[in-house]
Each structure stands twice: as structure tokens, then as C-alpha cells.
Amino acid sequence: MRNHLWMSVAPIAALALGACSPKAEQKADNALNDTGAAVSNALNSTGNAIDNAQQALTTTPTGQEFADAAAKSDAFEIEAAKLATTNAQSPQVKEFAGMMVAAHTESTAKIKAAAKAASPAITPNATLTKDQAEDLAELKTLKGAEFDKEYIDGQVDAHEDALDLMRKYAVDGNVVSLKQAAGEIAPVVEKHLSSARALDKD
């Protein structure tokens, strides 16, 4: 009985010892190394993708792109503010809207002059983006307190975007006249953003 048991166990033991042989260990090490290399490559690829995405998000616009973005922003602000003078309920919101019409009419003229002074001259495209047109269309359907909330919420978002645009171009812009205009407009946009945030808390 013992001999039969030993004969049964012996092949299993031999297999176990074979599995622990140097050749098997080398194969295991190679497999681990291959896996580690694959993981490292995947992490590097992911890191590169993130870096590329961040770089794309922070790329300074060209002079034409900046002028277009500024012109569209001004056009949207003026049209939205004109709606507020009739559709808003709050006197404070109406007062803010009046300030927006005046300020963005002024910044429109400043951007146009700076674009014209560029070499070669730049013609800003003030056609609203799809999102801006949709936001404006939605505002047209609202009145009273509902309009006030939607308008001011939108003003906070719009002025945050505009401030980022102006600050970045004022530092990294490649068209001198537009870069100077961006630097002059940025503090004004910052004040508007503070006013919009204050109204948003009311």
C-alpha cells in the first residue's frame, strides 16, 4: 500500500520540482518583465495623451482666433443685455444689463481698432457660435425672475470665459495691437465678473 502511494505521489513531486526548475523560473521572470514593460508603456501613453490634451486646451489663439472670439463675446453680451432691459424683473439686473451694453460696445470698438492696426489687418467675425445663439434663443423665451436667474448665471460663465481669453492673450498673444487691447479689457471684464457673481448670490 505504501509503495503504491509513493508511486502515485512521486510523479506529482517530480512535476512540482520541474516547475521550480531554473528554466521555469526564467520563463516566469520574463513574463513578469513583459507585463511590467506593457504597463509602463501604457502609463507613458496615457501621460502623453493627458499632456497633449492640456497643451491643446492652453494653446494661445492666433490673432484672428482671438479677434473672432472677442467679437462674438461682445456681440452676445450686447444682445443678451438688450433682452434684459425688457425681460428682466430686478432693477439691479436691468442696471447691470445697461452697463453691459455700454461696456461691450466700447470693447467692440477697441478690438476692431486693434485688429485694423495689425499687419496684415484682421477683420473680426462677430457671428455668434451655435452655443451662444442657443443661449440667446432660450433667454428670449423667459421673463421676470426666471429670466433674471438664467441671464445672470450665463453672465458669470460668459465673463469667466472672456477673462481667461483676455488674460491669456495679454500675456502670450502674438499680435501687438491685440495683445495691448486684451490687457486693457481684462480688468474691465474682471469687474463685470465680480458684479455678476454678486447678483448671482442675491
Quickly list DSSP for the chain.
-HHHHHHHHHHHHHHHHHHTSHHHHHHHHHHHHHHHHHHHHHHHHHHHHHHHHHHHHHPPPPHHHHHHHHHHHHHHHHHHHHHHHHHB--HHHHHHHHHHHHHHHHHHHHHHHHHHHSSS------PPPHHHHHHHHHHHT--HHHHHHHHHHHHHHHHHHHHHHHHHHHHH-SSHHHHHHHHHHHHHHHHHHHHHHHHHH-
In order along its 202 residues, the chain shows pLDDT tens digits of 444 433 444 443 443 334 445 555 566 556 555 655 554 554 454 455 444 434 444 588 999 999 999 999 999 999 999 999 999 999 999 999 999 999 999 999 999 999 999 999 999 999 999 999 999 999 999 999 999 999 999 999 999 999 999 999 999 999 999 999 999 999 999 999 999 999 998 7
Can you read off the three cell numbers belonging to residue 101? 451694453
Residues 6+ apart with CB under 8 A from 165: 61, 66, 69, 70, 73, 182
Supply the pLDDT for residue 40.
52
* CA–CA–CA angle 187, 193, 197 (5° rounding): 150
Rounded-to-integer distance, Cα 107 and Cα 148, Å: 24
Supply the pLDDT for residue 3.
44
Cα–Cα distances in Å, from 72 out to 4, 75, 87, 124, 135? 91, 5, 22, 9, 13
CATH superfamily of 61-201: Ferritin, core subunit, four-helix bundle (1.20.1260.10)
Supply the pLDDT for residue 59.
87
Backbone angles phi and psi of 6, in degrees to 5:
-65, -40
Supply the pLDDT for residue 25.
58
Task: Judge whether 74 and 107 are in contact, CB under 8 Å.
Answer: yes
- Exposure string of 65-78, with b = 16+ CB inside 10 Å and e = fewer, is ebbbbbbbbbbbbb
